[in-house]
């Protein structure tokens, strides 16, 4: 009997566990779900065949190693910083390793030993990274096979609210890790456009936007991700004149969010220790110039003249201009802002999330240029069966299933950018309702 060990029973593991449990019924497999909270593991496995829930603590080396030694395949749904620790154990004990997270430098240092032991360590097999890689590579290799040249490639992804749940001025709520949302984009974004290298520092990021349209759900705006340049080699597009990857938000979000960026409220580099009587309004005022008479609103508009009534209304709706008790008095500005936002951007019980992804290609074929757009829209069912959980967990589950069946027979330290991996995986994802729609125009 093959044993699949899933480390981490958070919300993103829902579809992963369900799919592997379902496919285990006709195969001799046991799915072991391990989490720091055994109750959470039990909740995820309740009613599912061939599953077992156990408690698990990464810091307890002996029990961790014992658990991994008993498995044939380890799927890590833990925070990304823990992947190298688990991967090292898998390497030591000769176990295959799967994750949805980015391939790290620590993982690359294991490459030779992974290959030597004939193991498969498959990373970046979730949504983004994951489905983005596979769907893009399928088109890229198809067009190359036809003798066509790809001269521009742009790819955008967003984790947002389903249209029916957009019930606030921002048309946004936290559908994934709030901290990652608050800190998104920090650093320098880099890409290439028409053969010219472009760099956008963080303080300018939310002003350099692309307009993106989906036929069925309307208009969005995209800001560039930190590193698009490295994907030229990942996608085999080393000489492409234009490549850009970005994150999607509803139109109007970024200009309003930029107020917090410009004021310094998203800074995570220092800690504030504020008096217990501090309010939300006092918090934002602490980032504005002193004036004995002018209001916070006036000072904001004077400091950032592009703030209009619509932007001010969005900020006011968050409660950050109110004289109510600050939810947190010690921490970085970003962590305090996050606590304020969590009160207003938390999901209601009937809210549904949505994943949107769009690839935009410019392709030259026999002297004729065409545009090809490939779009994905996936809407969640409820707060437990979210679109995020589905698009992160299902690719991993399918990859594990295909590997155990021998459909995927590659080994080494890999990304899902090989036809032997992405073709059968995308085919199964389509059966599960995760499918792209293509449009061509001249």
Residue ranges of domains in the chain: 2-123, 131-252+350-386, 257-344
Residue 37 CB coordination number (10 Å):
13
Report pLDDT digits (tens) over 292-323.
999 999 999 999 999 999 999 999 999 999 99
- Tell me the whole-structure pTM to 2 decimals: 0.93
If pLDDT is split at 50, 70 and 90, which confidence band does 327 have? Answer: very high
What is the per-residue pLDDT for 209? 96
Residue 26 has pLDDT above 90, yes or no: no
Distance (Å, whole) CA 394 – CA 7: 15
Q: What is the pLDDT of residue 185?
A: 92
CATH architecture of the domain with range 131-252+350-386: 2-Layer Sandwich (3.30)
Count of positions (residues) in the chain: 442
pLDDT of residue 367: 86
Question: 248-275 pLDDT, tens per residue?
Answer: 999 999 999 999 999 999 999 999 999 9
Instruction: Give pLDDT, residue 12.
Output: 87
- For residue 210, the cross-strand partners are 222
Q: Give the CATH superfamily of 2-123.
A: NAD(P)-binding Rossmann-like Domain (3.40.50.720)
Please compute the mean of the pLDDT values over residues 116-123 and round it to a whole number. Answer: 97
CB 215 within 8 A of CB 358: no
Q: Does 1 score more than 90 pLDDT? A: no
- In angstroms, what CA-CA distances link 179 with 145, 241, 263, 411, 425? 42, 34, 18, 35, 31
pLDDT tens digits, 137-178 = 999 999 999 999 999 999 999 999 999 999 999 999 998 889
Average pLDDT, the chain: 95
- pLDDT for 130 equals 96
The neighbour count for residue 42, using CB atoms within 10 Å, is 17
Tell me the longest C-alpha to C-alpha distance in the chain: 74
Question: Where does the pLDDT of residue 366 fall: very low under 50, low under 70, confident under 90, or very high at 90 and above?
Answer: confident
Contact 349, 383 (CB under 8 A): yes
* pLDDT (mean) for 196-214: 96
Closest C-alpha among 406, 375, 352, 348 to residue 155: 375
What is the band of 28 on the pLDDT scale with cuts at 50, 70, 90?
A: confident
Q: Is the pLDDT of residue 388 over 90?
A: yes
Confidence of residue 279 (pLDDT cuts 50, 70, 90): very high
* pLDDT over 90 at 27, yes or no: no
């Amino acid at each position: 009997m093959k044993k699949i060990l899933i480390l981490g029973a958070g919300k993103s593991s829902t579809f992963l566990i369900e799919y592997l449990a379902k496919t285990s019924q006709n195969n001799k497999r046991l799915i072991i779900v391990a989490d720091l909270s055994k109750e959470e593991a039990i909740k995820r496995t309740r009613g599912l065949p061939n599953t077992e829930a156990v408690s698990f603590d990464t810091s307890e080396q002996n029990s961790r190693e014992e658990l991994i030694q008993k498995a044939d395949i380890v799927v890590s749904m833990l925070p990304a910083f823990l992947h190298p620790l688990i991967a090292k154990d898998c390497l030591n004990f000769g176990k295959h390793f799967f994750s949805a997270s980015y391939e790290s430098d620590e993982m690359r240092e294991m490459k030779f030993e992974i290959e030597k032991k004939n193991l498969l360590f498959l990373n970046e097999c979730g949504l983004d990274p994951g489905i983005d890689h596979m769907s893009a590579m399928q088109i890229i290799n198809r067009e190359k096979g036809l003798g066509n040249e790809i001269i521009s490639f742009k790819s955008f992804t967003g984790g947002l609210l389903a249209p029916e749940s957009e019930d606030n001025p921002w048309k946004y709520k936290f559908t994934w890790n709030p901290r990652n949302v608050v800190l998104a984009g920090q650093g320098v974004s880099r890409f290439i456009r028409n053969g010219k290298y472009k760099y956008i520092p963080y303080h300018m990021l939310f002003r350099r936007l692309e307009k993106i349209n989906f036929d069925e759900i309307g208009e969005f705006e995209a800001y560039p991700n930190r590193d698009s340049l490295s994907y030229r080699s990942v996608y085999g597009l080393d000489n492409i004149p234009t490549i850009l990857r970005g994150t999607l938000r509803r139109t109007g979000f970024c200009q309003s969010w930029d107020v917090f960026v410009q004021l310094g409220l998203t800074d995570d580099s220092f800690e504030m220790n504020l008096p217990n009587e501090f309010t939300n309004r006092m918090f934002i005022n602490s980032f504005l110039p002193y004036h004995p008479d002018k209001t916070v609103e006036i000072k904001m508009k004077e400091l950032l003249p592009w703030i209009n009534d619509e932007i001010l209304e969005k900020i006011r709706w968050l409660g950050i201009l109110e004289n109510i008790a600050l939810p947190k008095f010690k921490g970085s500005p970003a962590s305090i802002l996050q606590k304020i936002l969590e009160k207003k951007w938390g999901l209601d019980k009937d809210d549904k999330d949505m994943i949107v992804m769009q690839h935009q290609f410019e392709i030259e074929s026999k002297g004729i240029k065409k545009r090809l757009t490939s779009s994905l829209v996936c809407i969640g069912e409820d707060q437990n069966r979210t679109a995020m959980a589905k698009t992160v967990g299902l690719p991993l589950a399918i990859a594990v299933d295909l590997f155990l069946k021998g459909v995927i027979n590659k080994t080494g330290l890999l990304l899902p950018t090989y036809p032997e991996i992405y073709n059968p995986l995308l085919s199964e994802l389509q059966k599960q309702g995760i499918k792209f729609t293509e449009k061509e125009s001249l």
